[in-house]
Amino acid sequence: MSDQDEDFAAMFEASLQAKRFEPGQTIEGTIVAIGAEVAFIDVGGKGEATIDIEELLDADGALEAQLGDPIEAMVVSSVGGLKLSRKPARGAASRRQLEDAFHAGLPVEGKVERAVKGGFEVKVAGQRAFCPISQIDAVRNTDAKEHEGRVYEFRILEFKDDGRNLVVSRRALIEEAQREEAELLRRSIVAGAVLKGKVVSVREYGAFVDLGAGVQGLLHVSEMGWSRVSDAAQIVKPGDEITVKVLRVDDDTRKIALGLKQLQTDPWTKVAEAYEVGRVCTGRVTRLAEFGAFVELELGIEALAHVSTFPPTGSPGAWRESVPIGMSGSFEVLSVEPDKKRIGVALVADGDSRARQPGAEGIVPGATVTGKVERLERFGVFVFLAPGRTGLIPIKETGVEREADIPRTFPIGSDVDVLVQEIEPGGRRIRLSRKAVLEARERDEVREYTERKTEAPGESFGSMAEKLRGAMKPVNRR
């Protein structure tokens, strides 16, 4: 093989090795030769790179490197061989190195000399550069004096007129560092993680929390406390440093859901012990729905007073008048389901219970009680007997003919006397009869009539006898 062929093979091999690296990549190597202008670096395998001698000189101009020394540097070019540099990160020393840094996207060190119109004048390796005001920081700061005299790292955005016209950006490096830091941080943000953050903004539906490196999560208003939170601003405000728990992370949308109440004891864990059926406790009405009123028994514990627990009035929604929002009253616990986080309650007289409500103690089989018509169905009439106690009068027990006008006979909210025929265990179903009450009244009326008829002849005979005796008395005549 000729010398020319050997040179070509060496150049081809060098170009292949150079393609292994990217501009801006930091690599390690060993100094294997030192020439008058460059030093040769072994970067592994058959790869070899060069670095300018002036980059290996100390402040006094003395060579600070020797053969065999390890060295770490950045790739500034891979065209025609691998070229390295250590100075772009600590201040480029020549226009050629500035151009290399521009093409490689490497940072250069510069000093902010003064504020000028639209930005700042920056001195980079003895060269004058311009940094637009929007590129001096990632956060807009109106005080330009704050940056004057500071030494920062910049990225060269424009390199014109052989380096005499430079435009640089500090913001590009800051945002790049934030993205890298954010990517590392996101790896640690997983469901269940407990992190510290800073509230950056508060909205009606929640607060955005900065977890670091610009990574934000949403703390929804429903996750701020176990009690109902209507205004997020009452719990947190911008600038607050808080500890939150990661609830969900959506890899596709990169959205992070946070929680605050999860770091507090769930009050529902003690509900089974604190609340039992029949207990009367004080509650505050927090909101109304079509199906009933929500009642806060304590912070984080909300119960439901179902619409069926209110006496019917015949006017839809009239029950709301007895439980306006904000009202405090006595409520009896009707049911407790801790696993479903449900408690059923009924409004009762202060300090009283359903068992002591007028008429409630008499709801037993065989008793005649008075209730209010709650609603009508094709199979019968539902009657409200007491809070949480509703019975059914089947059609055949209404005491009216099938052809009769049931709605006219039983208007909603009207009183009706019924006989309690049957109560299923637990009192969930109560069978009533109006027919039995009517029949009992009819029997009573017949009995009273019969008794009056039996007594009538004696009374008539006695009256007649008295009249006859009076008529037979002598009459005094003058």
Give the model confidence (pLDDT) of 266-280 as tens digits: 999 999 999 998 899
Residue that finishes a domain, picked among 299, 327, 355:
355
Q: What's the rounded Cα separation, in Å, for the pair 365 and 349?
A: 25
| Structure tokens, 66 | 């020797």
| Structure tokens, 22 | 């990217």
Buried/exposed 266-293: b ≥16 CB within 10 Å, e otherwise: ebbeebeeebeeeebbebbbbebeeebb
Q: Is residue 11 part of a domain?
A: yes
- pLDDT of the residue at 125: 81
Minimal CA–CA distance to 332: which of 363, 369, 303, 300?
A: 303
Number of domains in the chain: 5
- Are 339 and 398 contained in the same domain? no
- Are 211 and 278 contained in the same domain? no
* Average pLDDT score, the chain: 84
Q: How far is CA 4 from the centre of its chain?
A: 73
Query: To 10 degrees, the CA torsion angle through 238, 244, 246, 248?
Result: -50
DSSP 333: E
Q: Is residue 301 part of a domain?
A: yes
Q: Does the pLDDT of residue 472 top 80, yes or no?
A: no
The predicted-structure confidence for 345-387, as pLDDT tens digits, reads as follows 999 876 565 544 444 556 888 899 988 998 888 889 999 888 7
DSSP 426: G
Q: Is residue 459 part of a domain?
A: no
- Are 256 and 320 contained in the same domain? no
- Are 115 and 163 contained in the same domain? yes
DSSP string, 291-330: TEEEEEEETTEEEEEEGGGSPP-SSTTGGGGGS-TT-EEE
- From residue 241, give the alpha-carbon distance in Å to each of 200, 236, 258, 312: 10, 9, 14, 51
Q: What is the mean pLDDT of residues 421-434?
A: 84
DSSP string, 58-120: -TTS-B---TT-EEEEEEEE-TTSEEEESSTTT---SHHHHHHHHHHT-EEEEEEEEEETTEE
Residue that finishes a domain, picked among 355, 377, 392:
355
Q: Does the pLDDT of residue 39 top 60, yes or no?
A: yes
Q: Is residue 291 part of a domain?
A: yes
- Are 76 and 30 contained in the same domain? yes
What CATH number did the domain enclosing 257 receive?
2.40.50.140
Q: What's the rounded Cα separation, in Å, for the pair 172 and 155?
A: 7
- From residue 412, give the alpha-carbon distance in Å to each of 320, 381, 439: 17, 10, 23
Q: Can you give the residue range of the structural domain that contains 202?
A: 189-263
- From residue 52, give the alpha-carbon distance in Å to each of 72, 82, 86, 91: 14, 12, 9, 15
- pLDDT of the residue at 456: 57
